Amino acid sequence: MTSGFIFAQFLTGLSSASSLFLVASGLSLIFGVTRIVNFAHGSFYMLGAYVAYHLIEWLPTGILPFWGSVICAALVVGVVGVIVEIVILRRIYHAPELFQLVATFGIVLVMQDTILALFGGEDKFGSRAPGLKGVVRIFGEPIPQYDLLLIGLGPVVLLVVWLLLNKTRWGTLVRAATQDRDMVAALGVNQAWLFTSVFFLGSALAGLGGAVQVPRESINLLMDLSIIAEAFVVVVIGGMGSIVGAFLAAVLIAELNAFGILIMPQITIVLAFLVMAVVLVVRPWGLLGKPDVIQHAGDQIDMPLREAGWAGKVIGLLVVAALIAVPYLLDDFGIVLATDIIIFALFAASLHFLMGNSGMVSFGHAAYFALGAYASALVFRHLNGSMELALLLGPIAALVGALVFGWFCVRLSGVYLAMLTLAAAQIVWSVTYSWGDVTGGDDGMLGIWPAEWARSKHAFYYLTLALCGGGVLILRKITHAPFGYVLRGGRDSSVRTESIGIHLLRHRHLGFAVAGLFAGVAGSIYVFSKGSIFPDEAAIPRSIDGLVMVLLGGVHTLAGPLVGAGVFRLLEDQISRLDFWRAILGAIIILLVVVAPQGVAGFFHTLAIRIGLAKGRESA
């Protein structure tokens, strides 16, 4: 490689950094003030690209129409962000991170289908920017003129935002809210106006980031999820709420990707998450962030769980009897769907064990589901092992993975813990995706079928019911054992728990491993139920599915994740046949978070208390 080529690659990295910074700066600004982990930020980026593309195509060709379209797209997205903030997010500012994340994921689903309905599903290719269609040779290497403009755009936006935050009264209020928003409210500042203005600016920056990508890459419906992961990485590395930190992190990640693809192409898809994991372990609050010492509203001590009363036990026995009778009541398709529900009930129960007992919110629980599934598939395919051996070794692999990742994760808390679990899941996903010789890569692994004795749908259903049902019962027993009491004590007050001599970190680590083990059990059974496994099972959407199941059923009851898995899979099966099923599912998720945050099981449990069939917080 010549020095000219290296410099050209460096400039390419800088142009990518500017694009990434535009998105990440808005995300960092919104989180810093509202404390919402906004998964819908990628959707604003995608919307900006689509709006800019159609405005550019509709208006006459020219420099002024082109840049006018880019600015208009950013403003339109800013207005859409304001509508989302006022109608939905304003109602959940004081809710736990889980509710906020799931609500923004619902917004993602709604916006995906809305954009599909408005602009169509085909990829779109924008024209080059007028006046910037050529190249400039630097040290003999061609550099696109548009890339040079982007290199300058990033620092200009950074300067403008910095001046807004540091030289205006509005910026003073924003910085104060980033440090302690409750104190800002106590001083009489109109928080609603402040949050809305921040959301407008953050959304507009995301829209601008999407708009300037029109001449560089294709516009498609996958843009939102492809950018949001990297944007989160940049925000976490730079420091939550730090705009300058986001810029430095964007440059770091973009340059690592630019040169990493030359040195080790296979590692580029995971490099950013490896860096984020290292930063979170060494300096959890990021390069320029500050430790979050404010206890926000919404962090509250949950009421204690009790063993189910007589009514709960009767209902449980009736449910078990109904599950046993399923193969005699449903057709083959119904049995397959019931099998899926039972598998995901265990997956959701394992995630609920982690969050409900330990208070550790995981954005990457699919990692252990996928580890169990892939380990079982590898034993079956590459070692010619039996199904029984695969079902034994798969969960062990998930347990080992949970022990390794958990050792780092349990030392963090709040959103930093959640982001480290996300990094762990992305590392697992990247390994399954890029290690094609072993895992099959994007083509997956096929032909993973049950043993002869379990090949019929009836037999495999009962095998699934026995293993997953047993796993759920074990999790319930652990929850009501002294170990479960310790986890919940540490969740509610770590200082008090440690002050009586309990090694809380060790208990949290073991609890993390238990949750990973049973997620691996679910994954191992899943791969034999489908006969195949693909990297998507470790991706972000699968982790979000688990969170939705827990929330849909109710996070405050042990029956919640089981009910949530059933409702979610049934909803998904029924509405997936419709043209815009994602929008319907997203609307249901948003409605649930805003109107009924206690979930389906929580609603009926509250009703049972009112009519005298239950007392307090039974485990139900």
According to the 3-state scheme, what is the secondary structure of 471-496?
A: HHHHHHHHHCCHHHHHHHHHHHCHHH
Instruction: Say if residue 384's pLDDT is above 60.
Output: yes
What integer best gives the mean pLDDT of the chain?
88
pLDDT band at 299 (very low <50, low <70, confident <90, very high): very low
How does residue 345 score in pLDDT terms, banded at 50, 70 and 90? very high
CA separation, residue 323 to residues 326, 462, 620 (Å): 5, 9, 17
pLDDT tens per residue across span 86-116: 999 888 877 777 778 888 999 999 999 999 9
Tens digit of pLDDT for each residue in 538-577? 998 899 999 999 988 887 788 889 999 999 999 888 888 8
What does the alpha-carbon distance between residue 103 and residue 374 come to, in Å, rounded to a whole number?
A: 30
- For the stretch 423-450, pLDDT in tens is 999 999 999 998 888 999 889 999 999 9
98 within 8 A of 193, measured Cβ to Cβ:
no
Strands 135-138 and 532-533 turn out to be unpaired
What pLDDT score does 298 carry? Answer: 39
3-class secondary structure per residue, 121-137: CCCECCCCCCCCCCEEE
What pLDDT band is residue 606 in, cutting at 50, 70 and 90?
A: low
Q: Are 65 and 58 in contact (CB under 8 A)?
A: no
* Higher-confidence position of 325 and 178: 325
Higher pLDDT: 179 or 607? It is: 179
Question: Which pLDDT belongs to residue 616?
Answer: 52
Phi, psi of 382 (to 5 degrees): -90, -25
**Which is more confident, 611 or 571?**
571
The residues with which 144 forms a beta bridge, in sequence order, are 135
Cα(262)–Cα(68) distance, integer angstroms:
37
The residue-averaged pLDDT of 446-471 equals: 94
Is 459 exposed, middle or buried (CB count within 10 Å of its CB: 0-12, 13-18, 19+)? Answer: middle
How large is the C-alpha radius of gyration of the chain? 25
Q: What is the per-residue pLDDT for 557?
A: 80
Which parts of 397-470 are beta strand (E)?
445-446
Q: Hey, which residues does 572 pair with through a beta bridge?
A: none
Grouping H, G, I as helix, E, B as strand and the rest as coil, residue 143 is strand
What pLDDT score does 295 carry?
44
Using the predicted structure, report yes or no on whether residue 611 has a pLDDT greater than 90.
no
Sign of the C-alpha dihedral computed for residues 165, 416, 426 and 30 taken in this order: negative
| Rounded-to-integer distance, Cα 209 and Cα 70, Å | 9
The residues spanned by each domain of the chain are 14-221, 310-610
pLDDT at position 485 over 50: yes
- Per cent of the chain over pLDDT 90 is 53
Q: What is the pLDDT of residue 386?
A: 94
Q: 214-228 burial, b if ≥16 CB within 10 A, otherwise e?
A: bbbeebbbebbbebb
Q: What tokens appear for 598 in the block?
A: 């206690």
d(CA 372, CA 474): 18
pLDDT above 50 (res 328): yes
What CATH code is assigned to 310-610? 1.10.3470
